[in-house]
Structure 1
Amino acid sequence: MIRGVLITGEGEAVRGGEALIDRWREDPDSRLWLDLEGETPARERALLESFDCHPMAIDDAHRERHPPKIEEFETHTLILYRGIASFDAELNFVPQQVAYFVGERYLISLHPGAAHSIERLLDNGEGERLLGHSPEFVALKAMYLSAGFYLDSLLEFEEVLSDLEDSLLEGGSDALMRRIVAYKSRLVKMRRVFNYHLGITQELTAYDYSHLPREMEETLHAIKDVHERFERLYSLSQMYYDICGDLVDGYLSLSSHRLNLTMRILTVITAIFVPLTFLAGVYGMNFEHMPELAYRHAYFVVLGVMVAIGLGLLWLFRRWRWI
């Protein structure tokens, strides 16, 4: 599906498809935004080559799971962005690569599936307004909105994390630990994505790109907005990762403490019964000449000694606060 928005030299906004390209070429003062969703690589390559896009940039855009990056070419700047196909408060997210080809008078965005940020710009008409200023504003706004979707789900995850903390205090379980470890794994992946995106905005802030000029105050302000949002996303994902790590450490500490208590009780029981077992073993030997065997009250004396040893050890362990 190819959708297009054209802003003519007179400021008129026109929506359409591939046919807008001819009108854009005829009007040197016009600006064009083409959005390619789910087109075949061959079709995308042919269209991008018609705009003199660099073959290396096209290859990068078609490469699966390419890390997000920004790269400048003679006629355009390529921004590879990791967008969202789906995302929820459980941090289950399916990313999709979105490529932006930003030229002086055009923006071409291509992605395999529906992109929420681009849909929003097209639905509310904000894309036309931004394109009227400059094509890079559309790309920056789409990245800003996409980061907003990430942020909303991350903030919802904060409530899930709070419930996990309460559950851990009430008594953790292996199932709870599996959830937390799964969250840690997802947060690592998200943090890596946000770090790539943060690198893109840092480059835009630090270096001059001819198609995203920093000398324009509005462009620099838009870049800073995107940078601040990705910086917040990165810091939030790092913070939540640290909290999950603390929860795992807390659960292990509680488990270790419970195990120590169990081992202490078993040690006390063993310490009490070892001398009693020794006495029982001694008098269980069937030797013929054992003087105590001839004593009439020897049985009761030995039992009394065993009871005294047991009670004495119990008193000693209680005094040491082992039990």
Structure 2
Amino acid sequence: MKKDKKQFDITRPDKILMAGLRTLGTIGDNLTFNLYSTLKSESKGKAQTVFIGKKKLEKVAIQLFEYSPDDCMELDQPEDFSALQSPDPKKSYWLNFHGLHEVSLYEDLSKTMSFDRLMVRQMLDTTQRPKVEEYDKYLFFSVKSILQTEQQELNIEQISFILGKNYIISLQEEEGDHFDHIRYKIREKLGMVRHRKSDFLLVQLLDAVLDNYFETIDAFNLIVAELEKEVLKDPTHCTLLKLEKYKKDTQLIKKSLMPFKEALTNILNGRTNFIENENEKYFHDLLNSCKNAMDEIESTSKSLESLANIYFSSLSQKMNETMKVLTTVATIFIPLTFIAGIYGMNFEYMPELKYRYGYFVVWGVMGAVLILMLLYFKRKKWL
């Protein structure tokens, strides 16, 4: 027996409105998702490596750091990647890419480093879920970085890391200042970055990505505080649209943080050979920070849900107040209309019609009825 399709409760217009807002908000996302799905299917059918995502830069920018405790060399736009093929065991290497759309460049990198073809396809697919995968000679780590723009929109960027012996490769969709402070530490020999292996650098890079989440969550908390004042003071339809938008944004953040936490958990539970024992404590600290971020965004999401409920409660309260006034007015005029209706009848033999002061008497009765009803309503606290 087939189940009936889900029907909207017509007695709850707020639910219909909320469903409509969610539908409008996901139309564009569905169109983009379908476009990328088609591209994925075609690339798999042709066994091709393609870039799946939005092109954010005109040209891929490359930067290579080669450092040790004693010296540091920085190279922009290196012509080849042979230095990573057989790295000096006394040095560490950090190769960073800005831009993912030049597929041929990453195919050359893959051939030089003997990377798995499946991993290359995953790092060029910006729709992939964050993950961690261990191969024989390297560890692949993919995360999402989320920052709020000045227009209060979420900028979601995929960042992938490949951790190998004495080297780490990072791939970003666009140029940003996520890792500028880490570059500064390497150049100026600050902290322990130049004294530790590449796995410690991975911790620093992941921590910088996680800082973006905390920055975004802090911005959201400020927005929620402003929305709370707006909801309690004078909510409008624009308030509801804002609530729905930020509820959707919080869901995106949670969807990105969850696999981030899972990936860190897998690294710690898998006892991978690419993480040294002395650096495991930093990954544990990173995992705890990730859990704290999840708790923060969960609290923000619940606050937004509560504000939405308050919004609809305030609308219902306003409607009840309006109906109360209208009902009071209608109730007062019912007996007055009854009296006026009686003496508006066109009967010839009505005793009061011949009475000299009948008009004033009727007005007096109607006034008395009005006053008595107002006093009664006041006593019952209906007014």
Q: What TM-score, normalized to structure 1?
A: 0.87
Contact 2:65/2:73 (<8 A) preserved: yes
Between the aligned partners of 2:134 and 2:245, the Cα distance in structure 1 is 38
TM-aligned CA distance change 1:22 to 1:178, over 3 Å: closer
Between the aligned partners of 2:194 and 2:107, the Cα distance in structure 1 is 23
SS at match of 2:275: coil
User: 1:147 matched to which residue of 2?
Assistant: 210
Contact 2:85/2:112 (<8 A) preserved: no
Contact 2:231/2:311 (<8 A) preserved: yes
User: 1:13 matched to which residue of 2?
Assistant: 72
**Correspondent of 1:65 among 123, 127, 131:** 127
Between the aligned partners of 2:258 and 2:357, the Cα distance in structure 1 is 83
State yes or no: 1:309 paired with 2:372. Answer: no
State yes or no: 1:192 paired with 2:255. Answer: yes
What count of residue pairs does the alignment treat as equivalent? 318
User: 1:207 matched to which residue of 2?
Assistant: 270
User: 2:168 matched to which residue of 1?
Assistant: 107
Deviations 1:76-97 (A, max 9, x none): 211111124x534775221111
User: 1:292 matched to which residue of 2?
Assistant: 352
Q: Percent identity?
A: 22
Contact 1:105/1:135 (<8 A) preserved: yes
User: 2:113 matched to which residue of 1?
Assistant: 51
Q: Give, in angstroms, the shift of residue 176 of structure 1.
A: 3.2
User: 1:174 matched to which residue of 2?
Assistant: 237
Q: Give, in angstroms, the shift of residue 245 of structure 1.
A: 1.8
Contact 1:7/1:132 (<8 A) preserved: no
Between the aligned partners of 2:80 and 2:228, the Cα distance in structure 1 is 57
Q: What TM-score, normalized to structure 2?
A: 0.75
State yes or no: 1:83 paired with 2:145. Answer: yes
State yes or no: 1:36 paired with 2:100. Answer: no
SS at match of 1:109: strand
Between the aligned partners of 1:305 and 1:77, the Cα distance in structure 2 is 93
Contact 2:145/2:213 (<8 A) preserved: no
Alignment of 1:239-258 (within 5 A): 239-258=299-318
TM-aligned CA distance change 1:91 to 1:249, over 3 Å: same
Contact 1:89/1:157 (<8 A) preserved: no
**Correspondent of 2:177 among 86, 103, 116:** 116
Between the aligned partners of 1:288 and 1:49, the Cα distance in structure 2 is 111
Q: Give, in angstroms, the shift of residue 194 of structure 1.
A: 1.5
Between the aligned partners of 1:179 and 1:141, the Cα distance in structure 2 is 35
Q: Give, in angstroms, the shift of residue 60 of structure 1.
A: 0.7
Between the aligned partners of 2:150 and 2:211, the Cα distance in structure 1 is 14
Q: Give, in angstroms, the shift of residue 316 of structure 1.
A: 0.9
SS at match of 1:196: helix
SS at match of 1:110: strand
- The residue type paired with residue 254 of structure 1 is S
Contact 1:68/1:196 (<8 A) preserved: yes
Greater displacement, 170-179 / 257-266: 170-179
The RMSD of aligned alpha carbons is: 2.6
TM-aligned CA distance change 1:18 to 1:231, over 3 Å: farther
State yes or no: 1:94 paired with 2:147. Answer: no
State yes or no: 1:231 paired with 2:284. Answer: no
